[in-house]
């Protein structure tokens, strides 16, 4: 499995694994509780591999940000939680990505990233971050 099959579905908490496609959409499984749900084509769905974070100079792929968090935390869960204060979240994120655009990356975005990282860590999926790099190197 790769991060190409890890999804964020708007209005649904956490992350989901793409299980299979159907005529009207697809079936996804929650990384939080393992429950499966049917998602129709009209839902707002984002692949983790397609999300990027604004910095002052460019957009950095979410995968690279997650890898920086993994390096900072040595592959363990984050030292803060998604429920930490706005100031704590921003300070932490500044350590991970010093040039992130504070005007375009909100505390709610940082909360999601922290929560997603911890979900990937709990589900032993952080190794997929390395797999993405290997795939990109092979494509180039």
The residues spanned by each domain of the chain are: 3-48, 50-139
| CA torsion through residues 59, 111, 44, 102, sign | negative
Domain 50-139 CATH (choose: 1.10.10.10, 1.10.3720.10, 1.10.10.60, 1.10.10.1650)? 1.10.10.1650
Report the distance separating Cα 79 and Cα 14, nearest Å.
19
SS3 91: helix
d(CA 47, CA 113): 13
Mean pLDDT of the chain: 89
Q: Are 45 and 7 in contact (CB under 8 A)?
A: yes
What is the average pLDDT across 1-17?
87
Nearest to 116 by CA among 86, 77, 60: 77
The answer, yes or no, to whether residue 41 has pLDDT greater than 50, is yes
Give yes or no for residue 105 having a pLDDT over 90. yes
pLDDT at 137: 46
Supply the pTM of this predicted model: 0.87
How high is the pLDDT of residue 29? 95
Left (φ > 0), alpha (ψ -120 to 50) or beta: where does 11 sit?
left
Question: Residue 4 — pLDDT band, cuts 50, 70, 90?
Answer: confident
- The pLDDT value given to residue 62: 94
Pick the CATH number of 3-48 from 3.20.20.70, 2.30.30.730, 2.40.10.10, 2.40.240.10: 2.30.30.730
pLDDT above 90 covers a percentage of the chain that reads 70
């Amino acid at each position: 499995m790769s991060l190409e099959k890890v999804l964020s579905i708007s209005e649904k908490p956490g992350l989901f694994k793409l299980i299979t496609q159907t005529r009207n959409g697809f079936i996804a499984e929650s990384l939080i509780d393992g429950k499966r749900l049917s998602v129709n084509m009209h839902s707002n769905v984002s692949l983790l591999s397609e999300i990027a974070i604004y910095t002052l100079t460019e957009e950095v792929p979410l995968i690279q940000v997650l890898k920086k968090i993994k390096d900072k935390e040595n592959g363990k869960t984050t030292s803060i939680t998604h429920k930490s204060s706005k100031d704590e979240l921003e300070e932490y994120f500044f350590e991970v990505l010093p040039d992130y655009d504070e005007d375009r990356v909100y505390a709610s975005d940082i909360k999601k990233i922290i929560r997603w990282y911890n979900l990937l860590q709990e589900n032993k999926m952080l190794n997929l971050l390395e797999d993405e790099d290997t795939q990109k190197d092979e494509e180039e």
